[in-house]
A and B are shown apart, each in its own frame.
Chain A
């Protein structure tokens, strides 16, 4: 069994706390992703599990066994990095076979077994036709798949993958993602995966851990992370176009609660959401400040007023993407975006009605700075 337990891990570099009491469990056979911006501490977690770095506090377990003091070569983990370090003088076949040529006699595989494993993994990754070539004869995407194959040809308990497909171009990434997911489920292996790309995190993972400056923000399934983000930070990290975040105030007018944006618009809040809004709000000087979040797909734009919740904004610009349109509105400290049907047309500076689908409206405390 290969479940991994990280318990209260602290890592400091000089005075800086890189990891601040990080605890999580990754189950046997799970695809578990560490998601966060650069500098969040994702790779440090991976390096601590691999044994490349030692934690200052806390414990790491693989299969129930505490491994803090076990050297990296006895931990039975394989690690693949973004940068493929292939041996230029060896063929692709020899490169992939390399980790199997163990110096320890009892672990040594027969040539036949090695061949069988290489065939399996390279077929899965679609590089079985390239085995006789040298690395310099391959494209970047092919090299990355070879590097992945080399990491996965061993049968360790745990695979640690650090941005393995990060620098593929957009098209190759789409196919690399599904290949990786298929590989993981067919081999039934346990993977801890590091990425800053929300599409990889959502598309590939069983569960996601969101990390910010060395602290855990949220752990959940892809759906939980996207649909029920705990904070503005998590909400902003996933989705494209990004979620709209607007700061404002909760006000009462004639017994009804409104959200009033710091500049630009106001709308009445559904009564069933008022409790939730109040919980998230921060009281100051008798006022209650709150940040709302709503994804562009849950904002509707129209020429006519649709309901009493509609409010008006002038169009900054419209952008027609390949499958959807985006109307952009300029607010003080951010852009507010809404999807629209590309068959519609809105002029620059035209005042249009905006309607928020409040069943998909979030209320957050402010934990990140907004900027345009």
Chain B
């Protein structure tokens, strides 16, 4: 097991004309499960490839257990990598593919066989061990790639979108297995994904990246309850957080002017003194929207345009003048399309952002 630390890590493919990764810093302690999360092009896979040793580091240091490993080969670093694109050896069977790294490192056949069989059980590969990669589905190939990475008991396990080609049902069980394998082996794991739900459900700690920079590092709860900016707030959670613009008054309220009337919501604390008479962006999550069937003083008037039934819950698309918010309510809620409604949200669930910089000013009860 190793700890991993990035110190002011930069990557450029253009001799410094532009950077894919712009001076990132993070620490991953031994045995931790970390997700690198962000939209495509944010630099997360480039970062992973630098950790793996597949990509030269342009500037900065990468440390394993406190030692700089910038110039070490992937083998010296003892990392294992499972890709989104699987890179299996086509002439070898699934069994041989998984056994390959073990045999290459000098393990006896008996020992390698038992390790492979154990992995096959974990990842539900028993039935396909004798087959060649070309005959497998994308999801199956991904599981083989995962097994080959895990079987080596590496110091650091690196996973790049390992669930992306699996169908929904298999994803559920493989997700559970990845987490359980991590819990049992307590391997230091760095997991790259663009899927926030995957990151939230698997990782101990999430690093959110955008445009080559780290936006925030924290647990799923930190990112959900205390996002540092509008980007993180909007990226974590689905349907995404709603954002509406209002103006701060000098009594600690945010005032909205919709439908010809001014509605004020008290801000979560008195931290908006510098924003009096300025525009701020208020954010609240769809499951925190409170729907009211009649006019109330702090209710914003709106129209329910679309109701989507999703089994356990309904998703509402609600129109306020010329923009929309989403709300989630229990399936049994009686509500019709094209009905008038008022909504507000609890002060504890309100997030306030600087409308220009996107920086979070207040985060509900988290402060």
Q: Is B210 an interface residue (CB 8 A)?
A: no
B294 to chain A, nearest CB (A): 25
What is the bound-complex CA distance between A100 and B324, given in angstroms?
31
Asked whether any CB of chain B lies closer than 8 Å to the CB of A253, the reply is no
The answer on a CB contact under 8 Å between A242 and B169 is yes
Interface size class on chain A is 35 or more
The interface residues of chain A lying within 8 Å CB-to-CB of B236 are 322
Main secondary structure of the interface of A (DSSP, over half): mixed
Chain B residue contacts of A204, Cβ below 8 A = 308
Judged by a CB distance under 8 angstroms, whether B114 is at the interface is no
Q: How far is the CA of A240 from the CA of B169 in the complex (A)?
A: 9
Q: Are B179 and A319 in contact (CB under 8 A)?
A: yes
Across the interface, A203 reaches (CB within 8 A) one of B202, B237, B315, namely B315
Please give me the residue from chain B that is nearest to A170 by CB atom: B238
- Contact check: which of B168, B238, B287, B311 meets A171 at CB < 8 Å? B238
B-contacting 9-mer, from A55-63, A143-151, A158-166, A176-184: A176-184
Q: Which residue of A lies closest to B199 (CB)?
A: A322
Question: In the bound complex, how far is the Cα of B179 from the Cα of A320, in angstroms?
Answer: 11
Binds A, one of B170-178, B340-348, B355-363: B170-178
B8 contacts partner chain A, Cβ-Cβ < 8 Å: no
Residues in B whose Cβ lies below 8 Å from that of A372: 124, 173
Query: For chain B residues 234-289, which have a beta carbon within 8 Å of chain A?
Result: 236-240, 287
In Å, the complex CA distance between A328 and B201 comes to: 13
| Alpha-carbon distance A120/B213, docked complex (angstroms) | 40
Q: Contact between A322 and B173 (Cβ–Cβ < 8 Å)?
A: no
A177's nearest neighbour on chain B, judged by CB, is B308
Tell me whether B157 is interfacial, beta carbon within 8 Å: no
On chain A, the residues within 8 Å of B310 by CB distance are: 199, 202-203
CB atoms of A321 and B197 under 8 A apart: yes
Known A185-B337, A320-B220; judge A239-B197 contact (CB<8 A). no
Instruction: Give the residues in chain B near A288, CB-CB below 8 Å.
Output: none
How far does the alpha carbon of A177 sit from the alpha carbon of B324 in the complex, in Å? 14
User: B315–A322 contact, CB under 8 A?
Assistant: no
A199 to B311, CA, bound (A): 9
Residue of A nearest to B235 (CB): A171
- 0/1 interface trace, chain A 279-309, chain B, CB 8 Å (1 if under): 0000000000000000101000000000000
Q: Does A226 contact B (CB under 8 A)?
A: yes
Minimum C-beta distance from B33 to chain A (A): 12
| In the complex, A132 has a CB within 8 A of chain B | no
Within the complex, the shortest CB–CB distance from B38 to chain A, in Å, comes to: 13
| Known contacts A319-B202, A371-B124; A242/B168 CB under 8 A | yes
User: Is A317 touching B176 in the complex (CB atoms < 8 A)?
Assistant: yes
Given contacts A242-B172, A316-B180, A322-B224, contact A202 B200 (CB under 8 A): no
The one of B124, B175, B179, B197 that contacts A322, using a Cβ cutoff of 8 Å: B197
Q: In whole angstroms, how far apart are the Cα atoms of A171 and B286 in the complex? A: 13
Residue B183 at the chain A interface, CB threshold 8 Å? yes
Q: Does A174 contact B (CB under 8 A)?
A: yes
Q: Which residues of B contact A295 (CB under 8 A)?
A: 312
B306 adjacent to chain A (CB < 8 Å):
yes
The reply on A238 being an interface residue by CB < 8 A is yes
B317 contacts the other chain (CB 8 A):
yes
CB distance from A234 to the nearest CB of B (A): 13
Q: Check if A222 is an interface residue, CB within 8 A of chain B.
A: yes
Assembly CA distance A187 to B275 (angstroms): 44
Closest Cβ neighbor of A240 among chain B residues? B168
Distance from B351 Cβ to chain A, minimum over Cβ atoms (Å): 16
Q: Residues of B contacting A297 with CB < 8 Å?
A: 312
Partner of B201 from A222, A320, A371 at Cβ < 8 Å:
A320
| Beta-carbon contact of A322 and B309 below 8 Å | no
B326 within 8 A of partner (CB): yes
- CB-CB under 8 A from B169, the residues of chain A are 236, 242
Residue B55 interfacial (CB < 8 Å): no
- Find out whether the CB atom of A335 lies under 8 angstroms from the CB atom of B173: yes
Contact with A along B284-316 (1 / 0, CB 8 A): 000100000000000000000110111110010
Task: Evaluate contact between B305 and A178: CB separation under 8 angstroms.
Answer: yes
Report the Cα distance A182→B303, complex, angstroms: 13
Q: Report the minimum CB–CB distance from A119 to chain B (whole Å).
A: 16
Pairwise interchain contact A174-B238, C-beta atoms closer than 8 A: yes
Jot down 16 A-B pairs with beta carbons below 8 A, ordered by A. Answer: A170-B238, A171-B240, A174-B315, A174-B326, A178-B305, A181-B306, A199-B310, A297-B312, A317-B179, A317-B180, A317-B183, A322-B197, A322-B200, A323-B287, A335-B173, A348-B183
Residues of A within 8 A of B (CB): 169-171, 174, 177-178, 181-182, 185, 199, 202-204, 222-223, 226, 236, 238-242, 295, 297, 316-317, 319-323, 328, 335, 337, 348, 371-372
13 further A-B contacts with Cβ under 8 Å, apart from A226-B309, A321-B200, are: A178-B315, A181-B308, A185-B337, A203-B309, A241-B172, A242-B168, A242-B169, A297-B312, A317-B183, A319-B175, A321-B197, A321-B201, A348-B184
What 6 A-B pairs come out closest when comparing CB atoms? Answer: A203-B308, A178-B317, A317-B180, A226-B311, A178-B306, A328-B176
